[in-house]
Chain A
């Protein structure tokens, strides 16, 4: 699907405001998911989310550095961002898809979707913007995201889909009988 991203890519300031929100929210979300998995003793998935957050935080740092060099960015309210295809920024993994018994396979599927959406966003900006500097930056960021997509794909090979009963809990939170 073609994204309507032009308003968010009209100039370098606006684009960086979008990129910064996207990267910070992606990194924070992985951290929050890792924390939440830790609280529920799902150690394996917590570690995966923690690793993903480290990668995302590195990219967030890079974008921050570019933003600092650019100077003050325009202030964009959360609901004014032009993500179009997603209600939140495209790389923030959806909280609502988490489950306390989820397996690494599920976590990586979530991450794959997020990284894909991030990659698509930047690729669409690069394709649609009229500003050559925005196009250059967007291509660069899209490449970085493509790297993350490839990485998550590779990890996924190690974690095939679990059996259908993965969410069965012998000691469920609710009394069911």
Chain B
């Protein structure tokens, strides 16, 4: 049964931003709630579907383009930020949102992440962190704890400290940095709205449990806590505070004021001219 309003009683509804493709995530996966947060954010902003692009890499979390009704580009593993930067620089009028996981963003895509933060193109990156490679059946990722022993590949744990995505984003120059938790999709929606509205590169780190390969993450609901400080526009102050955080503080760490990167000159060659160069 249709649960969307077809008339204009309340304007666009989250359901309007869902596609007809049914998610195949494991029941209980945090990514379901993140999707709810995403569509609520889109409805709140009343984004025009024709002007909105979601770009992703590969992984369970990277399946978002299939499940949303805006333009979508499910790219290759680790390359979502490179592709999204191209989209935004070529078509600055579009709303560009990028989705992916901790493996996609910080392993194979790690180098792109550093430079996307540094370059500060006006787009919003939502990383759904479950501290594991979910899609490939449970290997350690760059955010996995050193002593996590549940994968056959690392029976004694990866043995190296996990990276801290929020601290990394701040160190590399992201202009807006926040953390949310999938169990609260309304707060996830708020962070996404704030991130999209804030100029420059926004990084939103979402803790999103993988209930299949990290079932203990179901307990995150009693681990997370409010970050407890007002957002600052000073990256140094944000960094000092983040270094004291335990990785589970939720809120906005930085709403900075760096100018977004946008080349002023128009393209010097048309698509047709570029394609000519590739003709065989």
Check if A68 is an interface residue, CB within 8 A of chain B: yes
A99 contacts B8, C-beta separation under 8 Å: no
Cβ distance A20 to chain B, nearest Cβ, rounded Å: 7
Smallest CB-CB separation from A67: which chain B residue? B9
Q: How large is the interface on B (under 10, 10 to 19, 20 to 34, 35 or more residues)?
A: 35 or more
B23 CB contacts on chain A under 8 angstroms:
32, 35-36, 39
B15 contacts A79, C-beta separation under 8 Å: no
Check if B148 is an interface residue, CB within 8 A of chain A: no
Cβ distance A52 to chain B, nearest Cβ, rounded Å: 12
B213 contacts A174, C-beta separation under 8 Å: yes
Cβ distance A43 to chain B, nearest Cβ, rounded Å: 13
B205 CB contacts on chain A under 8 angstroms:
none
Where the two chains meet, the residues of A that have a C-beta atom closer than 8 Å to any C-beta of B are 17, 20, 24, 27-28, 31-33, 35-40, 42, 53-54, 57-58, 60-61, 64, 67-68, 71-73, 75, 77-79, 81, 87-88, 94-100, 102, 173-175
CA distance A68 to B8 in the complex (A): 9
Among B4, B9, B183, B221, find the residue whose CB has the most chain A CB atoms closer than 10 A.
Answer: B9
B3 contacts A60, C-beta separation under 8 Å: yes
- With contacts A64-B9, A175-B152 known, is A88 near B186, CB below 8 A? yes
A174 contacts B27, C-beta separation under 8 Å: no
A77 contacts B152, C-beta separation under 8 Å: no
B138 CB contacts on chain A under 8 angstroms:
173-174
A61 contacts B189, C-beta separation under 8 Å: no
- With contacts A174-B137, A174-B212 known, is A77 near B190, CB below 8 A? yes
- With contacts A28-B3, A78-B40, A96-B218 known, is A73 near B186, CB below 8 A? no
CA distance A106 to B221 in the complex (A): 20
A54 contacts B186, C-beta separation under 8 Å: no
A175 CB contacts on chain B under 8 angstroms:
137, 152
CA distance A73 to B211 in the complex (A): 38
- With contacts A20-B10, A39-B24 known, is A95 near B32, CB below 8 A? yes
Q: Which of B11-59 touch A at CB < 8 Å?
A: 11, 13, 15, 22-30, 32-33, 36-37, 40-41, 44
CB-CB nearest 7 A-B residue pairs: A98-B27, A57-B1, A78-B186, A79-B190, A95-B32, A35-B22, A78-B40
B244 CB contacts on chain A under 8 angstroms:
none
Among B1, B183, B187, find the residue whose CB has the most chain A CB atoms closer than 10 A.
Answer: B1
Cβ distance A41 to chain B, nearest Cβ, rounded Å: 11
Cβ distance A7 to chain B, nearest Cβ, rounded Å: 15
CA distance A72 to B190 in the complex (A): 23
Cβ distance B259 to chain A, nearest Cβ, rounded Å: 28
B185 contacts A78, C-beta separation under 8 Å: yes
Smallest CB-CB separation from B212: which chain A residue? A173
A78 contacts B22, C-beta separation under 8 Å: no
A78 contacts B9, C-beta separation under 8 Å: no
CA distance A33 to B22 in the complex (A): 10
Smallest CB-CB separation from B187: which chain A residue? A79
Smallest CB-CB separation from A76: which chain B residue? B10
A38 CB contacts on chain B under 8 angstroms:
22
B183 contacts A73, C-beta separation under 8 Å: no
B190 CB contacts on chain A under 8 angstroms:
77-79
Contact with A along B194-223 (1 / 0, CB 8 A): 000000000000000101110000100100
Cβ distance B186 to chain A, nearest Cβ, rounded Å: 4
A36 contacts B32, C-beta separation under 8 Å: yes
Partner of A78, one of B7, B15, B44, B152: B44
Smallest CB-CB separation from A92: which chain B residue? B36
Partner of B28, one of A54, A72, A99: A99
B117 CB contacts on chain A under 8 angstroms:
none
